Structure 1
Amino acid sequence: MEQKKQNPTAEDETQTISRRIQRISLHITPIPRPLHDHDSNLGLLPCATREKLVVETEKLSVYMRGKYRDIQEKIYEYFNARPELQTPVEISKDEHRELCWRQMNGLIREAGIRPLKYVVEEPAKYFAIAEAVGAVDISLGIKLGVQYSLWGGSVMNLGTKKHKDKYSEKIDSLEYPGCFAMTELHHGNLFHLYYFANEMRFLAEKCVASIFMELSESSNVQGIQTVATFDPITDDFTINTPNDGAIKWWIGNAAVHGKFASVFAKLMLPTHDAKGVSDMGVHAFIVPLRDFKTHQVLPGIEIHDCGHKVGLNGVDNGALRFTSVRIPRDNLLNRFGDVSRDGKYTSSLPTINKRFAATLGELVGGRVGLAYSSVGVLKIASTIAIRYSLLRQQFGPPKQPEISILDYQSQQHKLMPMLASTYAFHFATVNLVKIYSQMKMTHDEQLVGEVHALSAGIKAYVTSYTAKSLSVCREACGGHGYAAVNRFGSLRNDHDIFQTFEGDNTVAADLLKQYKEKFQGGTLSVTWNYLRESMTTYLSQPNPVTSRWEGVEHLRDPKFQLDAFRYRTSRLLQSAAVRLRKHSKTLGGFGAWNRCLNHLLTLAESHIESVILEKFIEAVEKCPDASSRAALKLVCDLYALHRIWNDIGTYRNVDYVAPNKAKAIHKLKDHLSFQVRNIAKELVDSFDLPDHVTRAPIAMQSEAYAQYTQHVGF
């Protein structure tokens, strides 16, 4: 007998493995049992006895994913059929870069996905492609964005017919892989720098009189130091990096694969005065980087690898330095400014700042895409965490089978508001893409301004929320969430930089622009009078009767919810304007802004939450299927009341919500979390992410733990 234990037979090993799997299965397979009276003592199970909404997943999914579902399915199916192109859990930087390049080649040349034309003609379809590709591997999604949205988009949006004819087809086919070289070592993300300076200048001129006047004299547009000097004798430009601070940094596709770059540089024209050159502002230039036959770096160009990163190691980021690199005059992307053969500069826009604003206006799609893709990451993480929480069982009533951990109130409070937010963000970013598409088609100035402000705010808000939620999801899955194979680590690391890409939130300043149409100069009191008149509904004293209403019908009324969100924003806007005026007297313009910065960021966040809720309410009302509409209404109410409760102190301080109403909001929020838990499976299933896309063993819809144990060698 002792001998048998020391040398187990194959049959013994099979039985041992079978017993282990059976024991593990008991944790995840619910055992049907009757409900007993004492179950209600848990405060958990009564929610299961309430009437459950019937959700038709297919109908809700069709409404969520819209008309681009087919092309996303095509992408998913292609990679599912090519297991050698799926990113393994453990992979080195260099291997990941080459795999990412093979993935993109397969997508373009085998699957026949050609994204470039959609960047300009049908942006919603391009963003749907990017979301699906990012679900396969976020590095692949970013590399695709560099190639088509940034490098390709700069040629298509900033170039003219000659550039499109020469480059577009070869960019689309990957014959011309390229880079987008804007960011410099000393000047970070120029999108952020420009918009921050521009908003400050606007406040100086239109909002708070002379508060920021000293800041309006300078501009971060001048921050780019790379120069492109025109030589009328040779009819070409010379690109130079004048110092180490001007080295182009974090340039995607540069370290390994890129053959071209859109290089942003100051256009310098020779003059006959003492200066010798005239600065015409920042323009974009097509600069070849590598020889097409040998792939060797061309003379005058230095490329260095930025190295291993926290995440996104499938993207080959590099640093670029230019030393007397000559390019033809035709390589100037000349939609907004051109140089003739004799060195004369012409532009339809009169100033450097207007030209640069127009240039960046054509490239704001990158920010829109990041917001949209960030929601895609949140969908994956939510799906993994919620499916695991439905399967995993832990403890329960005495002498009864264990219950799902999603039946615990603490787990619901972590995951159900997050699921509601995921739905809210989905509809908000779908609306953002819609407005952006209209802007691209019409070039309407009002839409341009709306897209700038909205994309900045939603991108900042959504990426920040997703980054935090990835950690919440990991923690909600306990030790199994820490296993790399279950993806939370890679999702968190790869997504983290989304908060930095394309700059920070500038919506607070944009909100103060609302004074513009009525403000005619003078003191801030003029602006304040307009603000008070135009927002009477929200800034007037709270109705003492309404503040005490606590009925469910009232609390679930979209008008109450939206009014509450907008009231908070109006109060913050009012107090921000007053504080800026007060502090400017003693601290000056910049000091006042810096002193109020946290206040302004809270204002921006409040405004964006109002926009998100408004679009969610609209989406609920437009949903054609009754069962889907009822589910979305439940989720929307949870989103709204959870946000109101999170900031209940603000509402209580101004008596917008009386104590009894605050308690009713908290109670209803908990109840809605229970109800959303009852349809949580259907809600995540409606994201329509198959197992081969989520790829986390703990999120598999069948035999989850069997696959998980096999992964580690059982």
Structure 2
Amino acid sequence: MSEYMRGKHTEIQERVFDYFNSRPDLQTPLEISKDEHRELCMRQLLGLVREAGIRPFRYVFEDPAKYFAVAEAVGSIDMSLGIKMGVQYSLWGGSVINLGTKKHKDKYFDKIDNLEYPGCFAMTELHHGSNVQGLQTTATFDLMRDEFIINTPNEGAIKWWIGNAAVHGKFATVFAKLLLPTHDEKGFADMGVHAFIVPIRDMKTHQTLPGIEIRDCGYKVGLNGVDNGALKFSSVRVPRENLLNRFGDVSRDGKYTSSLPTIGKRFAATLGELVGGRVGLAYSSVGVLKISVTIAVRYSLLRQQFGPPKQPEISILDYQSQQHKLMPMLASTYAFHFATSYLVEKYSEMKKSHDEEVVGDVHSLSAGLKAYITSYTAKSLSVCREACGGHGYAAVNRFGSLRNDHDIFQTFEGDNTVLLQQVVGDLLKQYKKKFEGGTLSVTWNYLRESMSTYLSQPNPVTTRWEGEDHLRDPSFQLDAFRYRTSRLLHSAVLRLRKHSKNLGAFGAWNRCLNHLLTLAESHIESVILAKFIEAVQSCPDKNTRDALKLVCDLYALDRIWNDIGTYRNVDYVAPNKAKAIHKLTEYLCYQVRSVARELVDAFELPDHVTRAPIGLQSEPYTQYTQYIGF
């Protein structure tokens, strides 16, 4: 199971784990101040790159799957370190290489790679985060001096929450409206948002450069090892070559050229190159879920409480209520693992082929998986804490720090509610293509193949089938998920058309927003299940395949039962079948409990990585009592 799960990048993750295990001085203590944590985080990153010889920046371009494996492992050591690494290599470094051209790669790649050029990704502003097209920072071209002048025109345009800015960054990729001088009454032409390399500190003295103000964003709910800062620019000049000019360039005489005809297309191309951040967050969020589920399951197997009269106490995982909390979560962790592994494969394919269809597929899929998985993980961390009772509340057992550090995953790289709307936008485009005879991209094939079937009335015979073989048939499970999505999509289209007549497009969208978010989540659940079923069927070892099938069935039927009202309302499931689904879901929880230890062991997280005394593989109580001094 472990070999099948972790695949070819097991070795690089073990190198990360072994390095930090060999360096106790680089392990994050339980109690540490903000300033100490930031300095430790920088030392950890320097050690990883310069001593352990792990070069994440090279993996970003040569083997993205390897980079994401490193990111998951590093985040398991300290989530602040994982985010700081992502800022340096995926955001700052990735923006320079993906949005720049050969001259930028030649000048910056090696020094970003070896951390000689620590940098920031300055996109978010005080008044604008998700609405990147609304950014107000300006970059005005000065024809006489062949320079861009970077300005913060008002307080709302201050760059905010910029990782690496408060302490360590020497450069920033600054996103700003490109303004070119004209000879009409306006005086300038707005060419849309572009990215610029802006030095922010002196390379030798580390002093803040003239025209730049840097402030510390201070303590956060979590991730205090990351030095988030705010940046304000006052007539900061950078040479013309500092424009990252892959999608738009300015000549010496002030002429603008681009291979893309409109501001909208240039903006979409720019953001499309930055989608790796979302891929990484989805993938890393599964890593956080693996740790928390591992701790909760191991403790639930260990802890005994109550039992029959005059009988030994029983494990709390033998209680149906505890199984109901943790076993569907364990199944979801496996489901998310395979879904994000597929996402990484598609992302790697996109970076090699630059195929437009794959680009669109990855953009929508990364948005949906990032939103769905990070929201699920955030809720699950609280469930795991509660499932471990009072000992789950002890800081040493990590649920508090995991919960606090992970919480922001729901917001950065795109707020989850906004990202789900992007998924819906793509679904509506695909719906239109379906009924105008166009082709559909790979992720949406089921719409082409069976939309008409799903929108017809359910077969009155199959609505009553309640046998275990039928309910555990992957065809039934996938059909149920897709039927729900197709119904939601069709009804969303009808509602939007109806309300747009009186409210306009924006008003209609807002009126239907909750419906649209449910549609996006339903579609993403369908994709996750499809990838889980594929992983089960592709597994070469029978025993492993049988275990995965069991877990996959639990994932599918638990999701169906959680939304059983929808299926009942449209008569997709008769009352007797609904009861059978509920009964089988509880039985599958019981069956998964019998192999729960092996399932979490297959994640292959060493004790020095999980670190929680109650979640260790052996003698956890000994470790726990020693921690407090017995």
TM class, shorter-chain normalised? over 0.9
Contact 2:214 2:231 in 1 (8 A): yes
**Number of residue pairs matched?**
616
Give SS of 1:279's match.
strand
Q: 1:481-512 CA distances to partner (integer Å, 9 max, x unpaired)?
A: 00000000000000000000121322122211
Structure 2 residue aligned with 1:516, among 425, 428, 432? 432
Q: Which of 424, 430, 433 is equivalent to 2:335?
A: 424
2:165 maps to which residue?
A: 254
Distance 1:105 1:434 in 2: 29
1:564 to 466, 475, 480: 480
1:368 aligns with 2:279: yes
Q: What secondary structure does 1:304 align onto?
A: strand
User: Aligned equivalents of 2:247 and 2:501: distance in 1?
Assistant: 40
- Alignment correspondent of 1:269: 180
**In 2, Cα distance between equivalents of 1:373 and 1:442:** 25
Q: Which amino acid aligns with 2:377?
A: T
Which amino acid in 1 is paired with 2:73? A
Distance in 2 of aligned mates of 1:331 and 1:701: 52
Please give the per-residue CA displacement for 1:213-242, whole angstroms capped at 9, x wherever unaligned. xxxxxxxx2x11111111121111111111
Shift of 1:652: 1.1
Structure 2 residue matching 1:278: 3-state secondary structure: strand
- C-alpha separation in 2, matches of 1:103 and 1:177: 14
Query: For 2:585, which of 654, 663, 669 is the aligned residue?
Result: 669
Equivalent residue, structure 2, for 1:613: 529
Equivalence for 1:179: 120
Q: Hey, what does 1:309 align to over in structure 2?
A: 220
Q: Match for residue 298 of structure 2?
A: 387
2:323 partner amino acid:
Q
2:594 corresponding residue in structure 1: 678
Q: How does 1:323-362 map to 2 (within 5 A)?
A: 323-362=234-273
d(CA) in 1 for partners of 2:377, 2:353: 32
Q: Secondary structure of 1:265's partner?
A: strand
Matches within 5 A, 1:81-230: 81-189=22-130, 193=131, 221=133, 223-230=134-141
Residue 520 of structure 1 and its aligned partner are, at CA, apart by 5.8
Partner of 2:509: 593
**Matched position secondary structure for 2:32:** coil
CA distance in structure 2 between the aligned counterparts of 1:352 and 1:381, rounded to whole angstroms: 44
Instruction: Report the CA distance between 1:586 and its aligned residue.
Output: 2.6
Q: Does 1:642 align with 2:558?
A: yes
Contact 1:179-1:254 within 8 A present in 2 as well: yes
* TM-score (normalizing by structure 2): 0.96
- Map of 1:473-512 to 2, 5 A cutoff? 473-503=384-414, 504=416, 505-506=420-421, 507-512=423-428
What is the CA-CA distance between 1:516 and the residue it aligns to? 3.2
Measured after TM superposition, the shift of residue 534 of structure 1 is 6.0
Secondary structure in 1 aligned to 2:433? coil
Deviation at 1:322, TM superposition (A): 0.5
Query: How far apart are residue 537 of structure 1 and its match?
Result: 1.4
Which of 670, 694, 700 pairs up with 2:610? Answer: 694
Match among 554, 559, 567 for residue 651 of structure 1: 567
CA distance in 2, matches of 1:440, 1:609: 25
* 1:92 CA drift (Å): 0.8
Name the aligned partner's letter for residue 677 of structure 1.
R
In structure 2, how many angstroms separate the alpha carbons of the residues matched to 1:532 and 1:543? 20
Q: 1:123 and 1:389 mapped to 2: Cα distance?
A: 36
**How big is each residue's C-alpha offset from its partner over 1:436-492, in whole Å with a ceiling of 9 and x where there is no partner?**
111111011111111111111111000000000000000000000000000000000
One-letter amino acid matched to 2:11? D
Q: Which amino acid aligns with 1:250?
A: W
Contact 2:9 2:69 in 1 (8 A): yes
Tell me which amino acid in the other structure corresponds to 1:153. Answer: G
Q: Which runs of 5+ in 2 are unaligned?
A: 438-446
SS at match of 2:127: coil
CA distance in 1, matches of 2:589, 2:213: 56
CA distance, structure 1, for counterparts of residue 218 and residue 101 of structure 2: 35
Structure 2 CA distance for aligned equivalents of residues 555 and 428 of structure 1: 22
2:434/2:448 contact within 8 Å kept? no
Residues 283-336 of structure 1 show CA distances to partners (whole Å, capped at 9, x for unaligned) of: 110000101111000000000000000000000000000111111111111111
Distance in 2 between residues matched to 1:439 and 1:173, nearest whole Å: 26
Residue equivalent to 1:57? none
> Which residue identity does 2:72 align to in structure 1?
E
Residue 467 of structure 2: aligned partner:
551
Structure 1 counterpart of 2:121, which letter? F
Partner SS state of residue 69, structure 2: helix
| Percent identity between the two aligned chains | 82
Q: Which residue of 2 aligns with 1:46?
A: none
Q: Is the 8 A contact 1:428 1:615 kept in 2?
A: yes
Task: Give the match for residue 626 of structure 2.
Answer: 710
CA distances 1:324-378 after superposition (whole Å, capped 9, x unpaired): 1111111111111111111111110111111111010000010111000000000
Q: How far apart in 2 are the matches of 1:597 and 1:415?
A: 31
Q: For structure 1, which segment, 474-483 or 452-461, has the greater mean C-alpha deviation from structure 2 after superposition? A: 452-461
Asked whether 1:73 is paired with 2:14, we answer yes
Alignment match of 1:577 (pick from 488, 493, 496): 493
Residue by residue, what CA displacement relative to the aligned partner does 1:162-196 show, whole Å, maximum 9, x if unpaired? 1001100000000000000000111123xxx35xx
**What's the offset of the Cα at 1:515?**
2.7
Secondary structure at 2:261 match in 1: coil
Q: CA separation of 1:650/1:532 partners in 2, compared to 1, >3 Å: closer, same or farther?
A: farther
Cα deviation digits, residues 634-692 of structure 1 (max 9, x gap):
00000000000001111111111111111111111111101100000000000000100
1:533 deviates by 9.9
Q: Distance in 1 between matches of 2:310 and 2:192?
A: 76
Contiguous gaps of at least 5 residues in structure 1: 1-59, 195-220, 522-530
Cα separation, 2, equivalents of 1:275 and 1:88: 57
Over alpha carbons, which structure has the higher Rg? 1
Q: Distance in 2 between matches of 1:519 and 1:326?
A: 52
Which amino acid in the other structure matches residue 3 of structure 2? V
How far, CA to CA, are the matches of 1:483 and 1:684 in structure 2? 22
Query: 1:100 deviation in Å?
Result: 0.5
Instruction: Give a deviation string over 1:138-180, Cα, whole Å, max 9, x none.
Output: 0000000000000000011011111001100000000000000
Name the SS for the 2:286 alignment partner: helix
CA contact (8 A) 1:120 1:156 kept: no
SS at match of 2:6: helix
For normalisation by structure 1, the TM-score amounts to 0.85
Tell me how far apart the structure 2 counterparts of residues 446 and 465 of structure 1 sit (CA, whole Å).
28
Specify the alignment match of 1:233 in structure 2: 144
Q: Which has the higher contact order (CA 8 A, sep 6+)?
A: 1
One of 459, 478, 481 as aligned partner of 2:370: 459
Question: Are the aligned partners of 1:532 and 1:539 in contact in 2 as well (CA < 8 Å)?
Answer: no
Q: Answer yes or no: is 1:300 the counterpart of 2:239.
A: no
